[in-house]
């Protein structure tokens, strides 16, 4: 009889530094409630999937849609991206050397970290900020230095303070404006300071432009590439789907510094990470119809945002919003932590929102609420918030069944029922 030995395979140390899904229990609670027939409204996701089939271009060879995109199709997308940047920001890009395509924003940041950050180097990440930033840095074995974004400073970085507190060999810094999750917006002056900071410290500046391209009337967020010195020190990651309401589109582009893009392109080709031809065709159609898609999406968001902000004001919450971002950053009552608050809200109202603690230490005390895609759903959310306000805002009573109190008319002790 053969004896089998159990071999213990140790995991790499980098896995210990990966961000943990601390709000995973919210998924379990939502699943149990859905199985009981409760209609759970998920407001933890900032992008709502839409029907991308109507945006796709039919290929004569249907099998080709599910193959990696060829060089000609990728070149066509590079030209379309450069045309969009010229139309949106007035920035001229070389589609051959200043635009490259990656599967998504997460993979784009990971490839940049693998290309320019060695084990033991440091990366500046915002706090609060998206969890996948920390995951991309952990995979390359680098350390993380968080720069805190304070509400008193409108959640904008203080570059003077960063220069005084740099530790070790810092190679990269990640920024994102309009900021996720705080909805803060940076003007051109802040972006110019960022480019100057990167040049002085020889740091690669990575700008996450997930919601930068969206605009609503005269409100147009400024892009990092609008700064004259930006292409010399940094890149901009542009996921095409979120800005135009095609949340499930697995494609993003990186524009900017030529040396950085050459390294990323090499890794994409070596790893065979080219996006599917179908995704590229959808992205081409999205960029061609960008203005109409943007106007339709922004009108829906504006109507839903107004309903939510009014409901939150009546409840007594302080919310922070921006006209072009699909979420609200809300300060919660200080009775429990953000995760406990979200659990109570989910059980009482069936509304699933994101606790601020998953975005970092400075996110505690806040929650992020995604704006519903249509006005009717926003009214349902507002009604649930208003009808259950007293339940989820009241303090948790402390009950002590052994507490005794003396009756005023006698010396007997009585235990309350």
Which one is predicted more confidently, 343 or 403? 343
Encoded tokens for 403? 């507490």
How far is residue 308's CA from residue 110's CA, in Å, rounded to a whole number? Answer: 35
Domain architecture of the chain: domains with CATH: 13-47+292-390 (3.90.1150.10), 69-290 (3.40.640.10)
Half-sphere exposure of 123 (CA within 13 A, CB side): 30
- As beta bridge partners, residue 320 has 329
Q: What is the pLDDT of residues 73-130, one digit of tens each?
A: 999 999 999 999 999 999 999 999 999 999 999 999 999 999 999 888 999 999 999 9
How far is residue 162's CA from residue 153's CA, in Å, rounded to a whole number? Answer: 14
On whether the CB atoms of residues 199 and 232 are closer than 8 A, the answer is yes
Encoded tokens for 302? 């504006």
Beta strands at 413-414 and 405-406: parallel, antiparallel or unpaired: antiparallel
The answer, yes or no, to whether residue 182 has pLDDT greater than 70, is yes
Evaluate the omega torsion of the peptide bond into residue 178 and state whether it is cis, within 30 degrees of 0.
yes
On whether the CB atoms of residues 256 and 200 are closer than 8 A, the answer is no
Among 112, 108, 82, 105, residue whose Cα is nearest residue 95:
82
Encoded tokens for 221? 């967020």
pLDDT, position 249: 84
148 phi/psi in degrees, rounded to 5: -80, 135
Instruction: Give the pTM.
Output: 0.86
For 133-276, where are the E strands, in sequence order?
Answer: 143-148, 170-175, 204-208, 234-239, 252-256
SS3 content of the chain, % helix, strand, coil (to 5): 45, 15, 40
pLDDT, position 52: 46
pLDDT, position 334: 67
Q: What is the pLDDT of residues 287-321, one digit of tens each?
A: 999 888 888 888 889 999 999 999 998 888 889 99
């Amino acid at each position: 009889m053969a004896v089998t030995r159990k071999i213990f395979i140790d995991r790499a140390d980098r896995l210990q530094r990966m961000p943990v899904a601390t709000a995973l229990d919210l998924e379990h609670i939502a699943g149990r409630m859905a199985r009981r027939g409760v209609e759970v409204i998920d407001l933890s996701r900032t992008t709502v999937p839409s029907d991308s089939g109507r945006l796709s271009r039919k290929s004569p060879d249907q099998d080709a849609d599910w193959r990696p995109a060829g060089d000609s199709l990728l070149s066509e997308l590079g030209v379309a991206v450069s045309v969009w940047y010229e139309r949106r920001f007035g920035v001229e890009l070389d589609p051959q050397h200043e635009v490259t395509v990656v599967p998504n924003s997460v993979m784009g940041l990971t490839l940049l970290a693998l290309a320019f950050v060695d084990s033991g180097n440091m990366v500046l990440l915002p706090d609060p900020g998206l969890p996948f930033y920390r995951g991309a840095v952990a995979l390359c074995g680098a350390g993380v230095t968080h720069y805190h974004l304070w509400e008193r400073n409108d959640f904008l970085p203080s570059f003077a303070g960063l220069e005084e507190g740099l530790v070790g060999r810092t190679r990269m810094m990640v920024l994102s404006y309009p900021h996720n999750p705080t909805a803060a917006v940076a003007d051109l002056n802040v972006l110019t300071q960022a480019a100057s900071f990167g040049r002085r410290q020889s740091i690669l500046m990575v700008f996450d432009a997930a919601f930068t391209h969206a605009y609503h009337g005269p409100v147009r967020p400024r892009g990092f590439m609008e700064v004259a010195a930006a292409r010399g020190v940094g890149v901009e990651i542009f996921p095409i789907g979120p800005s135009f309401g095609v949340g499930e589109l697995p494609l993003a582009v990186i524009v900017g510094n030529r040396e950085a893009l050459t390294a990323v392109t090499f890794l994409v080709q070596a790893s065979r990470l080219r996006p599917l031809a179908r995704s590229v065709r959808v992205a081409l159609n999205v960029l061609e119809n960008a203005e109409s898609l943007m106007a339709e999406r922004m009108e829906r968001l504006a109507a839903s945002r107004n309903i939510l902000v009014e409901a939150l004001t009546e409840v007594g919450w302080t919310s922070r919003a921006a006209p072009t971002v699909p979420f609200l950053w809300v300060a919660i009552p200080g009775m429990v932590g953000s995760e406990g608050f979200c659990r109570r809200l989910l059980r009482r109202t069936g509304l699933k929102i994101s606790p601020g603690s998953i975005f970092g230490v400075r996110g505690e005390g806040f929650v992020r609420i995604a704006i519903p895609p249509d006005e009717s759903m926003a009214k349902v959310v507002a009604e649930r918030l208003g009808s259950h306000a007293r339940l989820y805002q009241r303090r948790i009573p402390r009950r002590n069944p052994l507490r005794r109190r003396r009756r005023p008319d006698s010396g007997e002790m009585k235990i309350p029922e």
